[in-house]
A and B are shown apart, each in its own frame.
Chain A
Amino acid sequence: MLDAKPAAKPVKTLVEVRGLKMYFPIHTGLLRAHTGDVKAVDDVSFDILEGETLGLVGESGCGKSTCGRALIRLYDITSGSVKIDGTEIGHADQTRLRKMRPTMQMVFQDPQASLNPRMTVADIISEPLSEHTTLSKTDKLKRIYELMDAVGLNRRFANRYPHEFSGGQRQRIGIARALALNPKFIVCDEPIAALDVSIQAQVVNLLEQLQDEFGLTYLFISHDLSMVRHIADRIAVMYLGKMVELGPRDPVYDSPLHPYTEALLSAVPEPDPSLEKTRERIILKGDVPSPANPPKGCNFCTRCPKVMDICRQIEPEFREAEPGRFVACHLYDQNNKTTAGATGGTEADNEHFQQGETK
């Protein structure tokens, strides 16, 4: 597995995201005037290294799916830069994007909705091949069979329709389709959320096995913290459109830096009754605020158990608190310097400028 990866080998950055913003405009009134934005992803920067799995976690509505979709340009992003394998695609046009598509693929959450019910398995898997390659009919069929073998589907089922398969098998079809063009990078958007526990493990193991086999890089989006802990090498935590913490798996799970990560982890029920009895649980008050109208200062300040005055005034910067561990929280302001005295200023700056990230 990835843990066994030789440390000496220099690791290449495959995906480089800087200041990614994805705003969805709100139009109101008779003239549909632009009155505000839902800031689904608000100034997010991170890297994904080649061959690793970055787990992206957060509650529903925190922007994790939007982030995943935006960075392979399923949306026209508001601003920011996304480099995949050295190519800038942040504001690339459709023709150039189309050329890039084979490198980046996606596995969707709901295998029922993401497979065309009128196409057979063979059709579904061969569609990307017909779009992007010039394989002959026989070569295509050979490739389809290869892919079906790779994801553990029986070749005999190539001419069946999606409804004839169970949820887990359908997800395998979706994975086979994503693999068809030998991608380097796959965004897995909640690929196991719609599946049963016993089937979840099958799909997760398959994804891991395929990663080893084909040297894939994953962005694994999920709200299931225990599964993410299993599959991911590094963890990114999002809250209300911002990334609040990013770091290697074990340190993040063992000693989370951000109070939100801490609360999120403590909320996960542990399948062990004696442990459950003794566990200190941090219960967050209230709900996530609306991303159209985030609170002033730190986005988490309305629910944070460790909130300080500064949190309601100044938005914390996303910076490296420990080697390889990034966090956006005032608790980790190194010298606790209260630099930006004028509080209004930082807010306004964020609106208009891209912050130079410390990363």
Chain B
Amino acid sequence: MPDGAQPVLDVRDLKTVFRTRGGEVHAVNSVSFDLKPGELLGVVGESGSGKSVTMMSLIRLLPSPPADVRQGQVMFDGTDLLHCSEQVLRDIRGGKIGFIFQDPMTSLNPVFTVGFQIMEPLRRHLGMSKEKARVRAVELLDLVGIPDAKRRLKDYPHQFSGGMRQRVMIAIALACDPKVLIADEPTTALDVTIQAQILELVKDLRQKLGMAIVWITHDLGVVAGIADRVMVMYGGQVVEQAPVKELFRNPQHPYTRALLKTVPGVIGERPEKLNVIEGQPPILYAQPEDCSFRDRCPQAMARCATANPRRYDVGNGHDVACFWDPATGGERNA
């Protein structure tokens, strides 16, 4: 991944609000990031941190109302996805941008055969004939490692196991050779041994196909294994972003640091007591004017209550939205 490459996906200042009876909930607050060709960007955060909503917003998959993508710019292939027509967007969804969702059971249609569902994008986006699409569908199932692909085209989703269903989802997402693949917690519903199979498959497919991937997860272990770069989200904002090794070696944000300490591993030292992040993640009924991690932050300072920190560049492609500087233990300058 050359550094100077033009990003395939460039998201600027994205803001999404949900209108609820209790008032507006600011789920995504000024999120900016980009995705380089062939890169795997891991997005980590707790539930409610806005990671899924960000990805759903940028392709306008959220029902409106209640969702309202209030501002921002999402450049993909020379098009601003937030301001183009529904028609253009339909050509992109499932075509140049593929999706894999968390739960393969609910995202596959139970009344259509798996073959039909894989052939659908091929016929819709690439205008293939039925026969051609069928041949390609068999290839795709082969590619994702489903044995006896030809026969299994006629099967319905319930005839597949969880791991196999997720492979089918991956096959559908890959059908039209997407430039960008957005995977929303694709292994969370799976067992570890099956997760290991899927992760291995994705690593393998990346080498073969070279698409850029956004991988949403709450599992830091998964990110450590497959990501090139990691973006940590909290309270609808990007709080830290860095290449994967840099992030794990040199975490800057108190939230990232705490998060890394709360997850125990299965090898190495076993801590006597688990580190805890006290308190609860925030529900943002207003645009945050201060740092939303402040209440749970061990390093909170007076300044954190008065302003929402911008993202500071700390070098090595690493940036962090925090006033606290772990190097000096004091306030960050400039």
Contacts and interface: CB of A to CB of B under 8 A. Distances in A.
Range of interface residues on B (Cβ < 8 Å): 35 or more
B164 interface: yes
Nearest to A277: B225
B266 A60 contact: no
Interface string B159-183: 0011110000000000000000000
A227 B197 CA distance: 22
A205 B191 contact: no
A201 B264 CA distance: 9
Interface stretch (A8-16, A95-103, A260-268, A308-316): A260-268
B37 to A, nearest CB: 21
Contacts of A287: 161, 163-164, 194
A201 B274 contact: yes
Interface in B189-205: 191-197, 199-200
B105 interface: no
B258 interface: yes
B220 interface: yes
A253 B270 CA distance: 11
Interface string B93-123: 0000000000000000000000000000000
A201 B221 CA distance: 16
Contacts of B225: 269-270, 273, 276
Interface stretch (A25-33, A128-136, A192-200): A192-200
Contact of A226 (B47, B266, B277): B266
A196 B218 contact: yes
Contacts of B224: 269-273, 275-276
Given A1-B272, A226-B263, A59 B197 contact: no
B252 to A, nearest CB: 16
A201 to B, nearest CB: 4
Contacts of B258: 198
Nearest to B218: A197
A196 B164 contact: no
A269 B263 contact: no
Contacts of B197: 283-284
B46 A197 contact: yes
A253 B266 contact: yes
Contacts of A60: 162, 191
A335 interface: no
A299 B194 CA distance: 18
Contacts of B244: 273
B192 A267 contact: yes
B273 interface: yes
A166 interface: yes
A250 B270 CA distance: 9
A225 B196 CA distance: 14
Given A1-B272, A197-B259, A264 B281 contact: no
A168 interface: yes
A271 B244 CA distance: 11
A198 B46 contact: yes
Contacts of A230: 264, 270-271, 274
Contact of A271 (B194, B196, B220, B276): B220
Range of interface residues on A (Cβ < 8 Å): 35 or more
A110 B144 CA distance: 33
Nearest to A1: B272
Nearest to B201: A283
Contacts of B221: 226, 268-271, 276
A118 interface: no
A281 interface: yes
Contacts of B267: 253, 270, 275
Contact of A197 (B161, B162, B194, B263): B263
Contact of B196 (A197, A226, A253, A283): A283
A187 B57 CA distance: 42
A143 interface: no
A274 to B, nearest CB: 7
B276 A201 contact: yes
A229 B277 contact: no
Interface in A271-297: 271-276, 281, 283-284, 287
A269 B199 contact: yes
Interface in B255-310: 258-260, 262-267, 270-278, 280-281
A69 interface: no
Contact of A196 (B46, B223, B245, B260): B46
B266 A197 contact: no
Contact of A204 (B47, B191, B220, B274): B274
A223 interface: yes
A279 to B, nearest CB: 8
Contacts of A196: 46-47, 218, 281
A202 interface: yes
Contacts of B276: 198, 201-202, 205
29 contacts: A60-B191, A196-B46, A197-B259, A199-B46, A205-B273, A205-B276, A208-B273, A226-B221, A226-B264, A230-B270, A263-B193, A267-B192, A267-B196, A268-B221, A268-B265, A269-B199, A269-B222, A270-B221, A270-B225, A270-B267, A271-B221, A271-B224, A271-B263, A274-B248, A275-B267, A284-B193, A284-B196, A287-B161, A287-B163
Given A201-B277, A264-B193, A271-B265, 6 more contacts: A60-B162, A197-B263, A229-B264, A267-B192, A269-B199, A270-B224
Interface of A: 1, 59-60, 166, 168, 196-202, 204-205, 208, 223, 225-227, 229-230, 250, 253, 263-276, 281, 283-284, 287
